Each structure stands twice: as structure tokens, then as C-alpha cells.
Amino acid sequence: MSGAPRLRVVTYNIHGGRPARGRVDLQATAAALSALQADLVALQEVHRFLLPPGVFQDQPRLLGKLLGLEARFGRCFGHGPCGYGNALLLRVPLLRLECLPLPGRGEPRALLEAEVDWHGSPVRFLNSHFSLEAESRKLQARRVAERVGTGSLPLILAGDLNAAPDSDEVRLLEAAGLRHAVPTELLSAPACEPRWRIDYLMVSRHFHVERGFVPATEASDHLPLAADILLSGARAKRF
């Protein structure tokens, strides 16, 4: 573990590949992500769907191909090959993947959980998108907090939680032992004129945070969050 270099992680609600202004443009999504050169990427509002005249667009696969990263999709709802949910883009080996349904009313939500190999050290990487409905969000945060406590491995939680930093939902996750990798005063939505912080990168005690930041881009209606982190005791690799 002591030799592991820094890890760059990103979370991004991509709005189905739709920029803050204009129509779906997955090339713009890919360009925004390419500029960040992340090792682990958590995406929300990802689509796999049919376009007229019957063309199938698999957004996770297309983004993976454009960026040269392994892509994995976790469907919240859908039918047949089509679906809507969360995705992971990975520059590191994948060891395990689960997509777990979350409680709540209305639009189904899920937790996409991976275990990856970071230079010989297993790391858990969780990605979710919480409900717009307050009581459902609390149930979802409680379930994710329980999941956080099920193991002792280094853990990263990423996602659009639709909740403010001082909300009950975020406090439940902090109480589970997670801390913020990106300062909570940095705002993430809407992309054109940010007024709210509802997107998060949180890490377990195993990590030292070197830097957390919010890049400017209008490739979605949200801004991405990015952080450079180190496993505790590791020395940064020189670039």
C-alpha cells in the first residue's frame, strides 16, 4: 500500500449527455471528462436507449470507448436493453460489481458498488443518485450509510445526493465515518450559475485528500467534482 500513487476520482451527473444549453452531445461530456484524466469516474443520469430510427445509444459503452476506460452500468429502471441509471468508468482493474436497489417512493434509485484494485490495494467505490423526495432521500442515505459500515476496506462514495451539506442525509453519511474530499462551500448546480451544493465525493479515514475542486464546464446542468487522494501512508507519485 505504501507505494500506491495518488488517485484522481470524479463524480458527474451528466444529464443524459445533455449540455446546460442545447441538445444531447456525448462528445462534450467525453471532452469534459477527458480534461480531468481521472482514474475512477462515477456518473449519474446515464441512458441506454433507442433513438429514431431504431438506433441504440449505449452511453456508458460510448463514453468508455471515447475515453479509453472500462465502463460499467447499473440500471435503476428500464426495459430490455434500455435503461436509466448510474455508471462507472475505470482506469484500474475491477474486482467486483453490485447494483443494489434503494428504498423510497417514485422513480427507482440504486447504489452501484465496485471493488477495484489500486496498485495492489482493494478499494470500494460507491456511486448513487438520491431521490428528489425528502423522506425517500433519508431512507436512501440510511441504507447507504449501513452499506458503508459493512466492511473495513478503503471506501469512496460519489454521487448526486440532491441534499445540502447540512442536511440529515449528508450527516448520516458523515456519521458513518465519511468525510468530504471537496470543500462543501464549492457549489455544483446549476452549471451556468451554481447556487447549490448537491453533488459529493466522500472518503473513508484510509485516505489523505491532497486537493478537491469543481471544474467549470457546461457539458451538463451539473458541474463535476474532482479530488486527488492518497491512501494513508502512501507517498505521492511524481508526475
Percentage of the chain lying above the pLDDT 70 cut: 95
Closest to 11 (Cα-Cα) out of 200, 169, 161:
200
C-alpha cell at 121: 490495494
The pLDDT value given to residue 3: 61
- The distance between the two most distant Cα atoms of the chain, rounded to a whole number of Å, is 54
DSSP letter, residue 16:
G
Per the listing, cell 475491477 goes with 94
Beta strand 40-51 with 55-58: parallel, antiparallel or unpaired?
antiparallel
- The more confidently predicted of residues 108 and 56 is 108
CATH of domain 7-231: 3.60.10.10
Distance from the first to the final alpha carbon of the chain: 19
> How far is CA 82 from each of CA 50, 56, 160, 185, rounded to the nearest angstrom?
7, 8, 22, 37
pLDDT tens readout for residues 103-123: 999 999 999 999 999 999 999
Residue 10 above 70 pLDDT?
Answer: yes
- φ, ψ dihedrals at 61, nearest 5°: -65, -45
Q: Give 197's pLDDT tier (boundaries 50, 70, 90).
A: very high
Helices (H), the chain: 26-34, 59-67, 134-148, 168-175
Residue 1 confidence (pLDDT) above 60: no
What average pLDDT does the segment 214-229 reach?
A: 97
Separation of alpha carbons 194 and 211, rounded Å = 20
**Domain residue limits, the chain:** 7-231
d(CA 63, CA 27): 8
pTM of the model: 0.94
